[in-house]
Amino acid sequence: MQLESVTVRRMTLPMLTPFTTSFGTQTHRDLLIVEAHSGGVTGYGECVALAEPLYSEETTSTCALVIQDYILPRLQGLEISHPREVSAALSPLKRNNMAKAAVEGAIWELWAKRENQSLAQSFGGTKDAVEVGLSIGIKPTDADLIDTVGAAVDAGYKRIKIKIAPGRDLQMMRAVRAEFPDAVLMADANSAYTMADLELFQALDELDLLMVEQPLAHDDIVDHRHLQAAIRTPVCLDESIHSAEDARQAIELGSCRIINIKIGRVGGIAESLKIEQLCRQHGIDVWCGGMLETGIGRAHNVAIASLEGFTLPGDTAPSARYWAEDIIEPEVTMDDGVVAVPTAPGLGFSVKQQLLEDLTVSSFSTDWR
């Protein structure tokens, strides 16, 4: 297969609920959708970078530039017999993982559709449904948070993740635990702490959290090793893991017991598969992280979470949690805390192409003919 053309669309979607983490509040999602075309078939991918470099160094704008100037020229005329060849072709380009993953994801979906396979099938996903957790942002008051957690418990989410930040941590988590003694709870710090906060994490051990996600610096695996050795709660790495090589080093050091895989953060599906395999070999639990995706990225996440190695509920909540109207139909929905893994070819959802075009504020296409 050769790509005939690629289109990249930029759009801004208002979020139903503002989402606050230790690095800021999001009210809108500024994102890119990639369309890869070949043989009358279109594959879709989503770029999960945020508008500002607050989670990682990539942004929507840097991704658009890197895709246009560096990624697409390397794919022009390339004979692709399997989508894993895409990340190999892009490997000379350092990092820019979210930009690479957006393009690789579109090509992977295109290939799966042409092979008449679902995305999950195309890489060996075996589950027919995936367990879902909810990620709850920082709320103005403990009462607000407790209301939100209560609604999530009632809705059937299999685990509830709560964002923490200095000043909104131990007391707040104790209040939630007191209210919900049996809930499966975890905390995500988005790298807001240092080893000077060790006592805080030792105190969190009392609360029987499923894990604490990315407590220390976004680029650290050494201090996380010391932290993990000093607490009972499993440490999960998110921001620190960009590749299977990073995962190998973190596992070897003992820096975490759990890894959150985000396809965008690690540079694509091929790299996600390597990490999943490595973690299975080492008994490291894995779950699928989220980046407040539209239905396109969400469908990719549900497919990857269908792999055996994804042993814990992921941040793959239903569309209606985020969007007034999603860009796919049907929307992603949840029943009894699980999302069904589609079996139709590709994403298994249809993209509302007219809505996509209406939402597009800028776009570019390759000029390969």
Q: Which does 135 bind (CB under 5 to 8 A by kind): Mg ion, ligand OSB, none?
A: ligand OSB
163 assigned to active site: yes
Which residue from 167, 173, 165, 184 is spatially nearest to 145, judged by alpha carbons?
Answer: 173
| Separation of alpha carbons 233 and 184, rounded Å | 13
> Under 8 Å CB-to-CB from 122, ≥6 apart: which residues?
83, 108, 111, 112, 115
Give residue 105's identity as a one-letter amino acid code.
G
Work out whether 238 is an interface residue with ligand OSB (CB under 6 A). yes
262 assigned to active site: yes
Per-position DSSP letters for 219-239, written without gaps between them: T-SHHHHHHHHH-SSPEEEST
User: Residue 214: left if φ>0, alpha if ψ -120 to 50, beta else—which one?
Assistant: left
Q: Pattern 8-37, binding to Mg ion, x per CB under 5 A?
A: ------------------------------
Cβ–Cβ under 8 Å, residues 163 and 190: yes
Segment near ligand OSB (CB under 6 A); pick from 81-89, 270-278, 286-294, 325-333: 286-294
Work out whether 133 is an interface residue with ligand OSB (CB under 6 A). no
Segments in 209-321 forming alpha helices (H) = 222-230, 244-253, 269-282, 295-304
What does the radius of gyration of the chain's CA atoms come to, in whole angstroms?
20
| Separation of alpha carbons 319 and 17, rounded Å | 12
Work out whether 104 is an interface residue with ligand OSB (CB under 6 A). no
| Separation of alpha carbons 1 and 365, rounded Å | 19
| Separation of alpha carbons 211 and 46, rounded Å | 28
One of 35, 58, 131, 188 touching Mg ion (CB under 5 A):
188
Segment near ligand OSB (CB under 6 A); pick from 251-259, 283-291, 346-354, 358-366: 283-291
CB of 289 to ligand OSB, least distance (A): 5
CA atoms within 13 A of residue 322's CA, in its CB half-sphere: 27
Q: Which does 290 bind (CB under 5 to 8 A by kind): Mg ion, ligand OSB, none?
A: ligand OSB
Which of 46/315 has CB closer to ligand OSB? Answer: 315
Work out whether 237 is an interface residue with ligand OSB (CB under 6 A). no
Which of 58/238 has CB closer to Mg ion? Answer: 238
Q: Which does 46 bind (CB under 5 to 8 A by kind): ligand OSB, Mg ion, none?
A: none
Q: Which does 83 bind (CB under 5 to 8 A by kind): Mg ion, ligand OSB, none?
A: none
Work out whether 348 is an interface residue with ligand OSB (CB under 6 A). no
One of 96, 190, 240, 294 touching ligand OSB (CB under 6 A):
190
Q: Which residue number has the CB closest to ligand OSB?
A: 290
Catalytic member of 113, 139, 163, 274: 163
| Active site members | 163, 262
Binding site for ligand OSB (CB under 6 A): 55, 135, 188, 190, 238, 289-292, 315, 317
